[in-house]
Chain A
Amino acid sequence: DAGITQSPRHKVTETGTPVTLRCHQTENHRYMYWYRQDPGHGLRLIHYSYGVKDTDKGEVSDGYSVSRSKTEDFLLTLESATSSQTSVYFCAISGWGPNTEAFFGQGTRLTVV
């Protein structure tokens, strides 16, 4: 299995609080991604990174920010959590080239109450 670790695996937080999810890889892959998975929507891209300090928005980036200060770590922050951000969050990594597959972490189940 690709070396991807997401933390925490489960979190319950209150509306309006900041939350940070961490993705750590040991594969030295250039590309890292954050997706959210919701019933009926599949996986939707939140933000992605194509190198240290190089990030860009995905299709559902509102309310989220990311940072990547090291190759191995990609952080996703919810500045002020809302109930609509209750979801399962997946981190993925990939090497260079569109024909390479993405490898996924085990996911973080976030509940905003």
Chain B
Amino acid sequence: AQSVTQLGSHVSVSEGALVLLRCNYSSSVPPYLFWYVQYPNQGLQLLLKYTTGATLVKGINGFEAEFKKSETSFHLTKPSAHMSDAAEYFCAVSEASGTYKYIFGTGTRLKVLA
């Protein structure tokens, strides 16, 4: 079965510092990977996704993620944090089967310090 693990349930960074949120996946087949963001009292919004092709994926709001098959990782980064980036971030993998279920990690809450 596919799964994702997010290291660090809470991450704090200073405004302007690098953001790095970690995600490792487990999959026996080429995975389809996603990062979502959730702002308070809202639903989840897609940041970016990896399907096939380029391993460096660019998303919205200046975020990007790199798919590393050898490390089974799909870490999310942003060069310079903004206060508005404070939110909860979820990594997800899609099952490459007929039902296409999405399996989510437990989430990482990002705090941005002024």
Contacts and interface: CB of A to CB of B under 8 A. Distances in A.
A98 B94 contact: yes
**Contact count band on A:** 20 to 34
Contacts of A103: 46
Interface of A: 31, 33, 35, 40-45, 48, 50, 56, 58, 90, 92, 94, 96-107
B99 A56 contact: yes
B100 A105 contact: no
Given A104-B43, A105-B43, A42 B105 contact: yes
Nearest to A92: B102
A34 B76 CA distance: 26
Nearest to B45: A104
A104 B39 CA distance: 13
